[in-house]
A and B are shown apart, each in its own frame.
Chain A
Amino acid sequence: MKYLRLIGLAIAFCLIFIPGSPFISQAYEDTQCFKCHTSAKKLIEITREIAKTRPAVKSSETEGEG
Chain B
Amino acid sequence: MEPLAPHEKILVDSDIVDDENHGAIACHECHGGNPDDANWKTAHKGVVKDPTYPDATTACGDCHDEINENYQKSLHVSLRPYKLIIDERASSNTVIRNKLGCAMDTHCSGCHSSCGQCHISRPNSVEGGFLDGHLFQKKPPMQEVCTACHGSRIQKEYLGEHEGLLPSIHREKYMKCDKCHTGEEMHGNGKDYAHRYDVENGPKCVDCHKEIYKREAKNVITHRIHKDKASCHVCHSQPYNNCSACHVGKDKQGLAFFKTKSSWVDFKIGLNPLKSEKRPEKFVTLRHVPADKRTFDFYVKDALSNFDTLPTWKLATPHNIRLKTTQNASCNACHGNESLFLLEKDVEDNEKGANKNVLVPVNLIPKKQKWQPK
Contact = CB atoms under 8 A, between A and B. Distances in A.
Interface of A: 19-20, 24-25, 27-29, 31-34, 36-38, 40, 43-44, 46-47, 50-51, 55-66
Contact of A28 (B5, B24, B259, B262): B24
Interface of B: 5-7, 10-14, 17, 20, 23-24, 26-28, 31, 33-38, 40, 43, 127, 134, 152, 241, 243, 246, 249-251, 253, 255-263
A19 B21 CA distance: 8
A31 B7 contact: no
Contacts of A64: 243, 246, 258-263
B251 A33 contact: no
25 contacts: A20-B20, A25-B24, A29-B17, A31-B27, A31-B28, A31-B36, A32-B35, A32-B36, A33-B27, A37-B11, A37-B27, A37-B134, A38-B13, A43-B7, A43-B10, A55-B253, A56-B253, A58-B127, A58-B255, A63-B260, A64-B246, A65-B152, A65-B263, A66-B152, A66-B260
Contacts, number: 105
A16 to B, nearest CB: 12
A38 B246 CA distance: 41
A50 to B, nearest CB: 7
Given A32-B37, A33-B35, A51 B255 contact: no
A61 B196 CA distance: 31
A44 B40 CA distance: 13
B24 A20 contact: yes
A47 B7 CA distance: 6
Nearest to B259: A63
A66 to B, nearest CB: 6
B84 to A, nearest CB: 20
A61 to B, nearest CB: 4
Contacts of B259: 61-64
B243 A19 contact: no
Nearest to A27: B26
B296 to A, nearest CB: 16
A27 B35 CA distance: 11
A29 B15 CA distance: 11
B6 A59 contact: no
Given A34-B27, A37-B134, A47-B7, 5 more contacts: A28-B23, A34-B14, A40-B11, A47-B6, A57-B255
A4 to B, nearest CB: 29
Contacts of B38: 32
A61 B298 CA distance: 14
B171 to A, nearest CB: 20
A51 B6 contact: yes
Contacts of B14: 29, 34, 38
B36 A46 contact: no
Given A28-B17, A31-B35, A64-B243, A20 B27 contact: no
A61 B251 contact: yes
A57 B254 CA distance: 10
Contacts of B24: 19-20, 24-25, 28
A62 B255 CA distance: 10
Residue of A36, A58, A64 ringed by the most chain B CB atoms within 10 A? A64
B27 A38 contact: no
A41 B356 CA distance: 61
B37 A59 contact: no
In the A-B complex, the 6 residue pairs with the closest CB atoms: A64-B260, A47-B6, A59-B255, A65-B152, A59-B257, A43-B7
Nearest to A35: B38
A59 B17 CA distance: 38
A38 B255 CA distance: 32
A27 B264 CA distance: 56
A22 to B, nearest CB: 10
B257 A33 contact: no
